[in-house]
Structure 1
Amino acid sequence: MSESDFFSHVTAARVHGLPMPFAVEHTQTIHVSTEEPTLRDRVLGVRGHHVAPKTVTVVAVRGVRVTSAVDTWCQLSTMLGLDDLIRIGDTLVRRKHPFAEMRDLLAAVRRYSGRRGVKLLREALIWIRPGVDSPRETDLRLLIVRASLPEPEVNAIIMSRTGVKLATGDLVFRRYRVLLEYDGGQHRTDENQFHWDVDRLDALMEERWRVIRINKSHLHNPPEVIRRVTVALMAGGWRPVAKAQKVPD
């Protein structure tokens, strides 16, 4: 690689640690970009890309030159599907150590106007929410909203009636006092985390919150997840909006 070359696309995403589909993440092809117009795929397994001057930001990650995380997300719009772009977008504006803010994503999509993939980026922006902790939380939220259930708050703080913080809930339906928690591996293997979860859930139930815990296996049965959430929401007072029926002529 010359001084004008830098990693991009899937390779940059791997360097940044962005979530991608298994098949894409484990591809052996290395993606290299440059602003020099003479770039060619010079080595087997290397795919070269030419980018217009000053259209992407190049950063150093552990000494490796790569496109910025936001520009990498834009580049991946020609390679990934909508939900993959939403997961990555949620990761960019995640709760802890975010790569960017929503305004950065909006500005990037505006700069990307006219290029292939921008339509998918615009659609992804509609679904991206700041404050998410994991791609599984993203999947769970999308499942719920696409089933026409109310949209929950993401990693929202829950207070007791006396003003004491009870928890930061993954997906919170505050009006109906329903909390949806995604339990990753740490919740089972970390003893301190396990005891903290027990105490926290007891405190929430004392405040009359309905807590639904979901893990990876549950996501393989979406109808059951939707059923459980629907039952809890209706117990809290939510009612589905009746669909308008077309009046015969």
Structure 2
Amino acid sequence: MPRRPAPLPATLASSGFTVLEARAAGVSLTRLRAADLRTPASGIRHPRELAPDAVARAGMLGSRHPGAFLSHFTAAACWGLQVEPRNRIERERIDLAVHAELPRPRGKGVRGHRLDLSHDELVTRDGLEVTSPARTWLDLASVGCGIEDLTVAADRIVWARHPLATVHQLERMLLRHRGARGIRSLRIALDEAIEDADSSRETRLRLHIIGAGLPRPVAAHVVRDAYGRAVATADLAFVEHRVLLEYEGDHHRTDRGQWAHDLDRFNRLQGLGWICFRIGAAQFARPDEVVAVVAHALAARASRDMPGA
């Protein structure tokens, strides 16, 4: 029967750690090769039952690369921009960058970059150096992000409830880096960005609707009753046609109080003459079908409202 590995020091057992940290704590190289530890990148270990997120792993890796900071997709995860590589292997890699005069970070699990940064394009967040939200957005275009992902990121950055930067700051970033890779996509994304999008799925749904040639919906539209009292704030609304869409996460189904509230709200909206489409994960996975039913509703309303109809 295989011998059970010796316990790790308590400071290491609850999270990921570097080999240098483990050796300093008295852990042998033989122990670091035991089957109960995973090696997500060269020089990094973590207990197999744990899975440190990208930002945590980046912090550990950064300690092995003097002058390194988080960038690109890893910086996007740090800022909550909700974009990531499409490829699983690429998703598992950590983006580490250094200033242009330093050697590019290399090693297992690392995607290294050399960046020429202005002083305000590198900040500290939760003890880690990371490219600023505006600079992160700029850099995402250089690693394959298209217009949709860049718009998702821009929407989150300028989100009115918790802005990470202003539209003006994003505009200045584009002016400062006129020759940046993907500059045309960045400009289009900035033109499409709004301050009222509450989620990445709402943004993606809005872009799909616009791309299908339907009228541009209004985000965060407040529906009021005949007395001017707010009844609901619709995620997306075609105000002229009284058609709205709401994206609902699974908690709308599993939380009984939320479910009851949603039903009351839905009934009140219907009573005010609104056509309401409730979009969940299953519907979001079939955006063409959502566009088709919305287009039908808009056409029906337009036909009804025509003179003589």
- TM-score range (shorter-chain normalised) is 0.7 to 0.9
Q: Is residue 2:243 matched to residue 1:178?
A: yes
What is the 5 A alignment of 1:88-237? 88-237=153-302
The structure-2 alpha-carbon separation of the partners of 1:171 and 1:16, relative to structure 1 and needing over 3 Å to count, comes to same
| Percentage of pairs with the same residue | 36
Contact 2:97 2:105 (8 Å CA) reproduced: no
The answer to which structure, 1 or 2, has the higher relative contact order (CA under 8 A, 6+ apart) is 1
Q: Within 1, Cα distance between the matches of 2:68 and 2:109? A: 16
Q: Within 2, Cα distance between the matches of 1:73 and 1:220? A: 25
> Residues 8-41 of structure 1: CA distance to partner in whole angstroms, max 9, x if unpaired?
1112112222212464586332222222503233
Ranges in structure 2 where 5+ consecutive residues have no aligned partner: 1-62, 305-309
Distance apart, 1:215 and its partner CA: 1.5
The structure-2 alpha-carbon separation of the partners of 1:22 and 1:195, relative to structure 1 and needing over 3 Å to count, comes to farther
Contact 1:58 1:68 (8 Å CA) reproduced: yes
The structure-2 alpha-carbon separation of the partners of 1:42 and 1:173, relative to structure 1 and needing over 3 Å to count, comes to closer
Contact 1:155 1:168 (8 Å CA) reproduced: yes
> Residues 162-207 of structure 1: CA distance to partner in whole angstroms, max 9, x if unpaired?
1100111000111111111111222112222212211111111121
Distance apart, 1:43 and its partner CA: 3.4
Q: Partner of 2:302: helix, strand, or coil?
A: coil
Mean Cα displacement is larger for which, 41-50 or 228-237? 41-50
Across the aligned residues of Structure 1 and Structure 2, the Cα RMSD in angstroms comes to 2.2
Mean Cα displacement is larger for which, 80-89 or 158-167? 80-89
Q: Partner of 1:113: helix, strand, or coil?
A: coil
Q: Within 2, Cα distance between the matches of 1:27 and 1:181? A: 30
Q: Is residue 2:131 matched to residue 1:62?
A: no
The structure-2 alpha-carbon separation of the partners of 1:42 and 1:150, relative to structure 1 and needing over 3 Å to count, comes to closer
Match of 1:73 in 2: 137
Mean Cα displacement is larger for which, 95-104 or 131-140? 95-104
Contact 1:41 1:48 (8 Å CA) reproduced: yes
TM-score (norm 1): 0.86
Q: Is residue 2:71 matched to residue 1:8?
A: yes
Give the partner amino acid of 1:175.
Answer: E
Contact 1:4 1:36 (8 Å CA) reproduced: no
Q: Within 2, Cα distance between the matches of 1:8 and 1:177? A: 43
Contact 1:201 1:211 (8 Å CA) reproduced: yes
Ranges in structure 1 where 5+ consecutive residues have no aligned partner: 240-249
Q: Partner of 2:91: helix, strand, or coil?
A: coil
Mean Cα displacement is larger for which, 201-210 or 41-50? 41-50
Match of 2:80 in 1: 17
Give the partner amino acid of 1:152.
Answer: P
Runs of 4+ deviating beyond 6 Å: none
Give the partner amino acid of 2:175.
Answer: R
Contact 1:56 1:71 (8 Å CA) reproduced: no
- Report the count of equivalent residues: 239
Contact 1:16 1:61 (8 Å CA) reproduced: no
Q: Partner of 1:237: helix, strand, or coil?
A: helix
When Rg is computed on C-alpha atoms for both structures, the one with the higher figure is 2
TM-score (norm 2): 0.71
